Chains A and B, each alone.
Chain A
Amino acid sequence: MAQPAQLSFVRRALVEPEPPPVTGESMLTLTRARLFGGTFNTVVTIVSAAVIAALLWPAVKFLLIDAVWTGSSRVDCLPETVGHEVGACWPFIAAKFVQLMYGFYPASEQWRVDLTYALGAVLLVPLLIPAMPYKAWNAVLFFGLFPVVAFFLLVGGVFGLSHVETRLWGGLLVTLVISFTGIMFSLPLGVVLALGRRSQLSIIRTLSVVFIEFWRGVPLITVLFFATYMLPFFLPTSWRIDPLLRVLIGVILFAGAYMAEVVRGGLQAIPRGQFEGATALGLGYWRTMGLVVLPQALRLVIPGIVNSFIALFKDTTLVLIVAIFDLLGQLRAAFADPTWATPVTLFTGFAFAGVIYFLVSFGMSRYALSMERRLQIQQAR
């Protein structure tokens, strides 16, 4: 660092004044200044417009204009049959739709999956809308009752419902089951681990830190391999764990460790005074945490929690590596079908699955953003 005393140079002439910044003008002037202010800016604008056109136009052309909408086999999606360049081959998706949504879930039982979805949606939507009343009851129903009902509906074996083995499950159903279960269990696990990590009891703290850092330090795919190939060795031979359940255990442990770090961020943001106030009121540890600290901390980290959910949702695709056929896995299996082998099949399939993944993730991230804004407003008051 140069000491000020060593600076012997002082500028004496004034620098030319810069043009004033553009503010408070009309939309048109502002747009013109932002897009065409200066030669460089104009060139950048033109290049950008060209890039957008070069990306968007082929996409629209492929997905809509050149697309084939009806047909029954690959022949209908070949340029020779259609007579012009072929875009997306939507009949392929139509033919594989059931497989992509339900896997090999028996056709006569698919209403159970639909019913589960409907039930979930009816309970979830009011939970997400802040203005809706009875949040506590709603949450109890969604997180307490719904999973039980969904489990018996999907697995069956009771109330006259036939048993459907999980190896028949597939497609979006598996993606959603893994995401939902992961979310359901990783949050409480994360809260427990976060409390453990901030505990004053050294053994509990050490165990929590080791647990969290271990799962966070390894890739999810090793966790899935651990759950699929290593876990059976550690359990009694007589225990036959369902492959889907094994994967779920892996996902929950992994997601729980990440969730713990998010929750810990919230716990650290709670001022010391809150703990002291609770202690002064005579609350013990569990009541301090349950009644004072956690409600504030969890509310603070809602955006972080939703972001973890998005990551978890995207990560469910990895289960295809351990032979569980989620949406992406079913898509890959559908590509192998020779009756639909055309040059555009792959792009069509990726476009369809991409839209689903994008809509869910993007929707969640927008929701997190709106919650964040709400929180800021509440805190500013």
Chain B
Amino acid sequence: MPVDVQRAPGPPRIAIYNRPKIRAGFYQLVLLAAASWLGYEFALNAKANLEAQNITGGFGFLDNTAGFNVNQSLIPYNESDSYGRVFLVGLLNTLLVSGVGIVLATILGFLVGIARLSPNWLVARIAGGYVELIRNLPLLFQILFWYLAVLGALPAPRRSIALFDAIFLNNRGIIVPVPIAGQGAGAVAAAFAAGLFATIAVAIWARRRQVRTGRRFPTILVACLLLVGLPLLVSAAMGFPIGFQKPELRGFNFVGGIRLIPEFVALLLGLTIYTAAFIAEVVRAGVLAVPRGQTEAALALGLRRGMLLRLVVVPQALRVIVPPLTNQYLNLTKNSSLAVAIGYPDLFAVFAGTTLNQTGQAIEIIAITMAVYLSISLATSAFMNWYNAHLRVTER
């Protein structure tokens, strides 16, 4: 009896509405339609609301006169300038406080992070205590603390606290001396440039010689001499052309020097100290990520601690450290918008704060402000992707 071989059925027949591709397409279209409808509704509502409140949309307001003053500006600004210029002033102030903050937070963060790994218990504990305390208190709390409790408690200008008779602390800010370039300052600058070039040349030569003969050259010492000693020598020869304009108390206020407004100092302190705690953790994680075998192998090869760090640990740790470090820089920049709480005139405070209050152009102003922060973020992450691809370990 012939076996009744059942033919393998072809691909099962699926109803058209059950095919995965069609279903996926359908659901996506529904989602897209819902999103578009939501956007359309928003636009309609915005139009109706703006008409009801008599607000003309558009970016024409940027040319109008601002009419308010700003207590710190890097570019010339006065009340009769436009809102567009206010935007620029705020943007520059944001970049200033973020830039300085990033530099200081990096230095402090690396110091604390390395101190946390110190073999000395007390040092490690101090660094650990710092990180735990700072990380667990809100940033805004800290900024307000510095601004209200610490800087606010400083005396009036007449009874300023003087440091080295050059820096003065009072409740109107911190006044620091400014360097003034006199006759012959150019020669000193030239000497510094020459020193810089000489240092690079010496470093290259020393490296080649070490590869060739194994003899080391005290590059760092020579570099210090070239970078500091040479300009100093030239400066002495020219009769010290670069002087400092010391702040002086005249009447109720100081004349000369640069006054750092308390808002700037408080914001900078808050951002630096807060971000440094996070950077310290990043650094610690990066160093711990280097396998112990690497250190032991380097020690077995006879490398000293300095060389061990410079040649073996740091290059490997940096690969782990840099991506989260950039993240922290980004956080610091975004957090600088907390300036609005204490009145430092950053982008957010003067633009989304004062300008929004005066013009009522909420949609345009908040959109511009968000766009600025968004572009900074996206630019940074684009750079990070490039950097990561660049640094990826080429494995065999």
Contact = CB atoms under 8 A, between A and B. Distances in A.
A45 B122 contact: yes
A35 interface: yes
A182 to B, nearest CB: 14
Interface string B161-177: 00000000000000000
A225 B341 CA distance: 13
Nearest to B52: A237
B214 A48 contact: no
A221 interface: yes
B277 to A, nearest CB: 12
A241 interface: no
A164 interface: no
A2 interface: yes
Contacts of B28: 201-204
B141 interface: yes
A25 to B, nearest CB: 14
DSSP class of A's interface residues: helix, strand, loop or mixed? helix
A221 B363 contact: no
Interface string B356-368: 1000001100110
B45 A2 contact: no
A236 B119 CA distance: 63
A212 B149 CA distance: 38
Contacts of B135: 361, 365
Interface residues of A, number: 66
Interface stretch (A64-72, A108-116, A135-143, A347-355): A347-355
Contacts of A9: 211-214
B335 interface: yes
Contacts of A216: 377
B153 interface: yes
Contact of B374 (A44, A218, A220): A218
Interface in B1-54: 24, 27-28, 31-32, 35, 42, 45-46, 48-50, 52
Interface string B281-303: 00000000000000000010010
A35 B122 contact: yes
Contacts of B152: 346
B138 A218 contact: no
A165 interface: no
DSSP class of B's interface residues: helix, strand, loop or mixed? helix
Q: Which of B24, B42, B138 has the most CB of A within 10 A?
A: B138
Given A216-B377, A346-B149, A353-B141, A226 B366 contact: yes
A314 B122 contact: no
A372 interface: no
Q: Which of A10, A233, A310 has the most CB of B within 10 A?
A: A233
Contacts of A6: 211
A235 to B, nearest CB: 6
B268 interface: no
B138 A314 contact: yes
B50 A233 contact: yes
B334 to A, nearest CB: 4
Contact of A222 (B126, B137, B144, B366): B366
B377 A8 contact: no
Contacts of A200: 24
A361 B338 CA distance: 20
B136 interface: yes
Contact of B377 (A217, A318, A328): A217
A316 to B, nearest CB: 8
A98 to B, nearest CB: 21
B311 interface: no
A314 B378 CA distance: 25
Interface of B: 24, 27-28, 31-32, 35, 42, 45-46, 48-50, 52, 118-123, 126, 132-133, 135-141, 144-145, 148-149, 152-153, 211-214, 299, 302, 334-335, 337-338, 340-341, 348, 352, 356, 362-363, 366-367, 369-370, 373-374, 377-378
